Amino acid sequence: MNAAQQLHEAGQSLWLDNITRALLTGGQLARYIEQAAVTGLTSNPSIFDKAITGSDAYDEQERELAAGGLDTEEQFFELALDDLRKAAALFKPVWADTAGRDGWVSLEVSPRLAHDTAGSIAQAKALHRQAATPNLFIKIPGTAEGVPAIEELTFAGVPVNVTLLFSASQYRAAAGAYQRGLQRRSAAHLDLAVASVASIFVSRWDVASVEALPAELKDRLGIAVAKQAYRSYRQIINSEGWRALATQGARPQRLLFASTGTKDPAKPDTYYLEALAAPETINTIPPATLEAFADHGKVGEMLPADGGDADTTIAKIEAAGVDVAELAAALQTEGAASFVSAWEDLMASIHSKAAAVTAAAS
């Protein structure tokens, strides 16, 4: 049994942070499911940009979509949903066997809507209907404007993957929105089995703080923040308020560790996976990190429910001059802007490629 399978046995789900048509049609995703215990998949605009521009597998469909008069954004969602439906079908046995705990794929609303509550709600509902598959999350950023969208979409029965969370306080805001949505469903006598995950980004903390910290504190901030978020997660699912919802069929909004590929070449390529083992959580990782972990990774000690040394580590980091709360807000703002930039690049790529394949067919 390799390390990826051992981690799965310990209770942490591994989801792949990648999608391409070659991954689907060439059998690689099926092999990851079988050999590395992969039980879900996430996507983002940068992933799709690389997939679409780096392959001719989308050319024929792009030509048809452009000929059909769809605008660039509509073309993208058609292309993406075609891939994600196929991936969702591969994960459907896992989804069924785990009663919806695992087996999910994720699609993001337009990052242009990160600060548009009403727009996020409307597009998320439309994409949920268009996808027409039960095991697809709609990704909503955990911005101030995204939080009320999370509540409303949960109430509407739309499964949400909350993205762009960078701190325990941001995570708690997203978790609170999810619970409020469920409470409204309870009051309306609706089924409470509406799944959700909350994605806290890890390695970006260390990239942002590397120049400000002494050697002994480098690459420790992301893990410390993740430990604080895990403590909050455990506190929430053990609270009386959550237990009351659980007795009515509600499912925990599972904590997901994102951005866990190693960025510092001085650290092991399995650094964050080994540090963030925790039951009832998810770690979403790029293929290179998954393969490295399955090959030579080790399952570390499970995260302590009380956060362990997280507060002490963060106190040392703040004493070294890093304002952690201020950095959390900046990372979320910068992350939202980065997603918009990636989206604009993706839209430009699709527009350019659609024009090229149309001209080639003339």
The structure tokens 């509902």 sit at 125
Assess whether 139 carries a catalytic annotation. Answer: yes
Q: Which of 86, 125, 139, 316 is catalytic?
A: 139
Q: Is 305 left (phi over 0), alpha (psi -120 to 50) or beta?
A: alpha
Residue 214, classified by CB atoms within 10 Å of its CB into exposed (0-12), middle (13-18) or buried (19+), is: exposed
Residue that is written with structure tokens 């605009």 in the block: 45
Q: How many CA atoms, within 13 angstroms, populate the side-chain half-sphere of residue 76?
A: 26
89, two tokens: 């079908």
Long-range contacts of 50-58 (CB under 8 A, 24+ apart): 50/20, 51/19, 51/20, 51/21, 51/83, 52/79, 52/346, 52/349, 52/350, 52/353, 53/349, 53/353, 54/20, 55/20, 55/21, 55/22, 57/20, 57/21, 57/22, 57/25, 58/21, 58/353
Supply angle C-alpha 245, 106, 280, rounded to 5. Answer: 45
Residues recognised as catalytic: 139
